[in-house]
Structure 1
Amino acid sequence: MTSTLDVPPAGRRPAPTARGALPAGGPGWLRLVALGLVALAAVLAGVAFTGAAAPTALRDPGALVRWGLPVASTTTEIAASATLGGLLLLATLLVRRAGSEAVVRAASGITAVAAAVWTLAAVVELVLTYANVAGLPLTDPAFGGELGQFVTQFELGRVLLVVAVAAAVVTALALMTTSPVGAAWTAVVVVVALWQSAQTGHAAGAASHDLATSSMFLHLVGAAVWIGALVALSPLAPRLGADLAPAVARFSTVAAWCFVAVAVSGTVNSVVRLGTWSDLGTRYGVLLLVKIGLFGVLGLIGLAHRMRVVQRLRTDERAPATWLFWRLVLVELTVMGAVSGVAVALGSSPPPVPDDPITNPTPAEIVTGHALPPEPTTLSWITQWRWDVLLASAAVAGLVVYVRWVLRLRRRGDAWPWLRTLSWVTGMVLFFWTTSGGPAMYGHVLFSAHMVEHMILAMVVPVLLALSAPVTLALRALPTRSTRGAAAGRLGPDTSRGPREWLLALVHSRWGRFFANPVVAAVNFAGSMVVFYYTDVFRWALTSGVGHYAMVVHFSLAGYLFVNALVGIDPGPDRPPYPQRLLLLFATMAFHAFFGVALTTGDVLLVPDWFGLLGREWGPSAIEDQQRGGGVAWGIGELPTLALAVAVAFSWARDDERTARRRDRKVARDGDAEMDAYNAMLAGLAARDRGETGTPTGEDARDSRG
């Protein structure tokens, strides 16, 4: 696919391009070469500046390996980014309407090509990484056999192999994927590969491993979406015609969030890798300052892009979309390439804070990777923090998005109850503290503290979130996906999926309705606790970052679905009558009590090779602490359940009152037809029992004569 995107002379604009046609001029793909060339130049300059490619005194792998590895890493990152960006275009950014099938197929082809390049670059990176680690040149006779051992017996080799295999899988899927749902599922594979990539490099060091890994993952995903979506969108610009404006506007919103994610995660990584302010004077620090400067320039360019180009594309139909779009994209891609190159150079350079393993580790450091926190007190539960960048960022983003939606409703004159907003804010603050504060710190070494963390996430936070009705607010505040302007009427409706459409699809999907069913939600809420604690899933959550995130997401979501099925406001479940809701709630309460009693009276330690080997010199023994945790599960679990019971009863009473008021209004308006028919039926039955046909006799006749 080629394009011709020449900038017209001053004072003259070319005619707008028809859908699917390519304007005359030079190939648009040549503009993308700037990204690769600048990134390559930045990598080579950074590696030369830091001396990372200097020959080693012992077992030098050769110049090809020393210089080729950073180039392969840069190619891998850019190709992976373009792959993820192409999938994002297919999932939500591109306009889909009658006649846009060729554009969708072109986007799928671009994604497949990017994934194929990613696969080849990942394989080259794997080979060169082993050569660099082992100090073997590629021509060494023993290289092939030892490479096999590297990818099967060493963690770094297995991670790089997983990334290469994931890239190959994505290549195959991208060739067959054109639907939004298929693109979304394929993007999940890319995100898994990026998580694996976050485990390598400086993030794999001993210093603040969990913090560095989570921040690096956020950094990689934010940068990949930002760079990749722009790289994938650029060759498609000539084909989009009038649909370029909404696509660029949607990308601009995504890019703003990515900018924040990259800035936050980059700051965290810088703090982890720099010990003091003086470390900024090292070569690593200088490269970091260069990256920060380039990133700032990139943010300013993006802001200008959003404020000027997007607005003109929306409002000025006379403006040729292609050259207007490329006016800033070329500069933005070039700066992105420089930032990517400097980032790879940073990854190839030793940071001031070394990645050396901990010397003379304590038992707690051997088991958990962290030093043992001080003995818990009331104050330490507030002052001790074990930051989790991903979950903390999710909490802050949740606050910002919810408040923005409320303000959006108010600007158009719609009301939103302030109690719901207060409930959401309280829930997000509590979630933030639970996942990064005292419960997270002590929950890693004390079963009772872990149970506090679990009960808050599963039973307290979901109540606050369900009562704040986030789905209802989103459906009211999010715009319906459509293309505004004259082009919308000419070209037909936009059938692509935006955030509102994805949310509706999830709520009304078969799986969404299944898990939102009150009985299923109750069984999942209560039964998953037994599965979690009495299988190896609990060990996985303690020893793996992925397991920890899975635990947080599962129990928070399971709690929300259960509460929403009982007293929630959001759409989704077919809620049963109130007596059945109370019965379901009391059955869950009884199960929770049984679970707490089982832990309190049990004498078998869960995950003994974790809680039993921490070397704590304070607090109760591991088994006593576990029994205390059973009391926590019973106590903390019952209070929210009782509150839910009161809420269900209150909702039941209010529902009866509303039903009575509606009936009274209907009677006042139309008369009580039901009561009249009921009285007539009773009169007919009485008449039949007396053998009468309508003529009053006997006592009734005397009463009538009297």
Structure 2
Amino acid sequence: MPRNLRVIAPAVLLAVALATLFIGLSIGGGADERTLLDPGAVVRYGLPISRTIVNIACAGLIGAVVTAVWSLTPGKPEQRVALDFAAASGAVLTVASAATLLFAYVDVSGKAFSTDASFGAGLAQFVTEIELGRLWLIELLLAAATTVMCFAIRERRMQLIVLVAALSTTLPFAFQGHAAGASGHALAVNSLLVHLLGAAVWLGGLLTLLILARTVDKQRLSDLVRRYSPLALFAFVGVAASGVVSAWVRLGSLDALLNTGYGQLVLLKTFALILLGGFGAIQRERLIPRIAGPNGGRVFAWFAVAELAVMGFASGIAAALGRTAPPVSQEPVRDADTLLPPAEWLTGDKLPPEFTPLSYFTAWKFDLAWVLVCVFAAALYLAGVWRLRRRGDRWSIGRTLAWLAGLAMLFYTTNGAFNAYEQTLFSVHMLGHMMLTMLIPLVLVLGAPVTLALRATEKRDDGSWGGREWIMWMVQTPYSKIITHPAVAAVVFAGSLWIFYFTPVFRWAMTEHLGHQWMIIHFLISGYLFSLSMVGIDPVPYRFPYPLRLVTLFATMASHAFFGVTIMTGNGLMLADWFGAMGRTWGAPPLEDQNLGGGIAWGIGELPTLALALVVTVQWSRSDAREQKRRDRAADRSGEAELLEYNAMLAAQAERDARSARKR
């Protein structure tokens, strides 16, 4: 294995990326001199160069932390090397983000670099009042904080905080560039976020393996590559899917794919992606079994360096795409010179057509992130079932169907008519909300995914934590004991409705993309925990006895009904400057539509709770039946000794009572 591999691997990646960047800028014209406010060649080339370094450093940071959390053993040199590499990547990310911020300010303002007060004042205004400047400042602060964490935090569980911080460094990128503020904003932002996370885990994970190659022996390297391979496969699927969506949003037609510089760069990046898919297939099928053998380490090293070179090519093209004007304008709709309809001004998307019962089947507004969540969750579940079947264990077909049905409903709710109309009609929003918080979690809970994961996932014996170990830890943490307690789950489940709709959180969820995603995640989790505490099969620290479960269910049902009636009978329009300002001429008036939404929360929203009560009742009946069978079997084994002893006790008591009566 090459002695200077830790230097060769990053050098090859960076050199190929920068060389490809210059080619891409030439093809797309991203660094051409401007006729107005030209910032100069230093900025025209410096900005994409610094952005390329930012992308690579971010990948190194995320890939190293993911590898440390998922694959490595704490306390061993491998973990120290990986986290040191993560810290170094974070430091590079911090410096490169600062340079990019300066380049971006000069590029936007047209001012030359200087040390005078006016330059500093303009820069301060850029990072406080301009969205692009604020995003780069946030990126700089996140990178600096994560770098410090990588140096300071080495304990296994606390590394989850470092992982969250590292993953959050991709958020400012997702709201920049062609995605932010344009039509189809939600789709573009989520697609870009998926693309960034997938590329970071894929590229950064491979780079980390090469950094570790001289720290571990060949057998250990083989194990680490085997653990990296599934992550790379999921990342490849995410990058490919998000790349297709992002390209289509920006190209608009097949003609633009062939006849524009942007389209030609997309083709080059597609070629690199296909080539990388081939590398991954070879790695899984042929390379991993050979790593532990003679010369296996050297073969892996050169193979991975070649793969890194192709990744560098893709990274350079990606950076050039970021500086190339796409055929379809991504200018925020509010910045357009034309007069916009109210709905488009508020949401960024055109007002959907009139809502009819048929719209439930014909209206779609896809969200790539949730599409992939559903696909990956289904694939992992089915893989677990297949693994159990292969070793001769059984798994209920009913649980499998429940899980898949829940994911199908989640897919429809986040991509179908509910997503298409929830910003326009309060009633549709409320119906989707009831799906997310009540029906979908109930069906998913019946799939018992935690039980399946614990049975299907192999236990590790090298001190590292994989899926089984992390799940066991999460189930047993004090925090898990609190949030899964039936009383807490019920309060969160019922109280979230009131807090969400009668505080500014509702406005945040409706007007901000991040708030909308938070809303989906929060209500899914709160509903899931409540259903889990009532009827779940998966292990939790404590559950109420069955009678108390029914009492809890009817209490939450009453709170739900009161919430629905409050909205249904309200005389004031919630978010009047949103739902009341859409400018739609079809459908019920906003206040009437809001009252309909309250009726949905009261009437239709109670149906899943009644289903929960029915399931609790059935489980209670089965529990009593099982207890009776247990007692019968115990009686058979002991010859009904307990019953005979009990009868003898009664007879003795009767004899004593008789003697006492005779004495009187």
Q: Same fold by TM (over 0.5)?
A: yes
How far did 1:48 drift? 2.1
SS of structure 2 residue aligned to 1:691: helix
How is 1:465-484 mapped onto 2 (pairs within 5 angstroms)?
A: 465-482=444-461
Corresponding residue to 1:218 among 187, 194, 197: 194
1:486 is matched with which residue?
A: none
In the TM superposition, what whole-angstrom CA distance separates every residue of 1:560-583 from its partner, at most 9, and x where no partner exists?
111121111111141221111111
How far did 1:27 drift? 5.2
How far did 1:478 drift? 1.5
How is 1:157-176 mapped onto 2 (pairs within 5 angstroms)?
A: 157-176=133-152
How far did 1:617 drift? 0.7
1:255 is matched with which residue?
A: 232
How is 1:398-437 mapped onto 2 (pairs within 5 angstroms)?
A: 398-437=377-416
Are the aligned partners of 1:108 and 1:177 in contact in 2 as well (CA < 8 Å)? no
In the TM superposition, what whole-angstrom CA distance separates every residue of 1:197-230 from its partner, at most 9, and x where no partner exists?
1110111252321111110000000001111111
Are the aligned partners of 2:70 and 2:466 in contact in 1 as well (CA < 8 Å)? yes
Are the aligned partners of 2:448 and 2:538 in contact in 1 as well (CA < 8 Å)? yes
Return 5+ residue gaps in structure 1 as ranges: 7-24, 483-493, 699-706
- Report whether the alignment pairs 1:563 with 2:531: yes
1:135 is matched with which residue?
A: 110
Worse-superposed segment, 33-42 or 642-651: 642-651
In the TM superposition, what whole-angstrom CA distance separates every residue of 1:365-392 from its partner, at most 9, and x where no partner exists?
1111111111111111211111111112
The structure-2 alpha-carbon separation of the partners of 1:27 and 1:549, relative to structure 1 and needing over 3 Å to count, comes to closer
CA distance in 1, matches of 2:419, 2:332: 24
Corresponding residue to 2:34 among 56, 76, 98: 56
Matched residue count: 657
The structure-2 alpha-carbon separation of the partners of 1:283 and 1:29, relative to structure 1 and needing over 3 Å to count, comes to same
CA distance in 1, matches of 2:551, 2:578: 38
2:511 is matched with which residue?
A: 543
Corresponding residue to 1:617 among 574, 580, 585: 585
In the TM superposition, what whole-angstrom CA distance separates every residue of 1:539-597 from its partner, at most 9, and x where no partner exists?
11111122111111111111111112111111114122111111111111111111111
- Report whether the alignment pairs 1:156 with 2:147: no
Are the aligned partners of 2:183 and 2:349 in contact in 1 as well (CA < 8 Å)? no
Corresponding residue to 1:508 among 472, 476, 480: 476
1:17 is matched with which residue?
A: none
How far did 1:320 drift? 4.3
Corresponding residue to 2:552 among 557, 572, 584: 584
- Report whether the alignment pairs 1:199 with 2:178: no
2:70 is matched with which residue?
A: 92
The structure-2 alpha-carbon separation of the partners of 1:26 and 1:455, relative to structure 1 and needing over 3 Å to count, comes to closer
1:329 is matched with which residue?
A: 304
In the TM superposition, what whole-angstrom CA distance separates every residue of 1:468-523 from its partner, at most 9, and x where no partner exists?
111111111122224xxxxxxxxxxx111111211111111111121111111111
In the TM superposition, what whole-angstrom CA distance separates every residue of 1:383-436 from its partner, at most 9, and x where no partner exists?
111111111211111122212211221111111111111111111111111111
Aligned AA (2:299): L
SS of structure 1 residue aligned to 2:605: helix
1:13 is matched with which residue?
A: none
Aligned AA (2:113): L
How far did 1:95 drift? 4.0
The structure-2 alpha-carbon separation of the partners of 1:102 and 1:645, relative to structure 1 and needing over 3 Å to count, comes to same
- Report whether the alignment pairs 1:278 with 2:278: no
How far did 1:337 drift? 0.6
CA distance in 2, matches of 1:448, 1:505: 40
2:11 is matched with which residue?
A: 33
CA distance in 2, matches of 1:477, 1:663: 33
How far did 1:298 drift? 1.1
SS of structure 1 residue aligned to 2:158: helix
CA distance in 2, matches of 1:293, 1:559: 43
How far did 1:140 drift? 7.6
The structure-2 alpha-carbon separation of the partners of 1:318 and 1:276, relative to structure 1 and needing over 3 Å to count, comes to closer
CA distance in 2, matches of 1:190, 1:28: 22
Worse-superposed segment, 276-285 or 187-196: 187-196
How far did 1:684 drift? 3.0
Which structure has the larger Rg over C-alpha atoms? 1
Q: CA RMSD in A?
A: 1.7
Return 5+ residue gaps in structure 2 as ranges: none
Are the aligned partners of 1:597 and 1:631 in contact in 2 as well (CA < 8 Å)? yes
In the TM superposition, what whole-angstrom CA distance separates every residue of 1:427-464 from its partner, at most 9, and x where no partner exists?
11111111110011111111110010000111111111
Are the aligned partners of 1:88 and 1:183 in contact in 2 as well (CA < 8 Å)? no
CA distance in 1, matches of 2:230, 2:296: 18
SS of structure 2 residue aligned to 1:240: coil
Are the aligned partners of 2:84 and 2:151 in contact in 1 as well (CA < 8 Å)? yes
- Report whether the alignment pairs 1:519 with 2:487: yes
Are the aligned partners of 1:565 and 1:573 in contact in 2 as well (CA < 8 Å)? no
CA distance in 1, matches of 2:198, 2:6: 26
2:91 is matched with which residue?
A: 116
What is the percentage of aligned positions where both structures have the same residue? 44
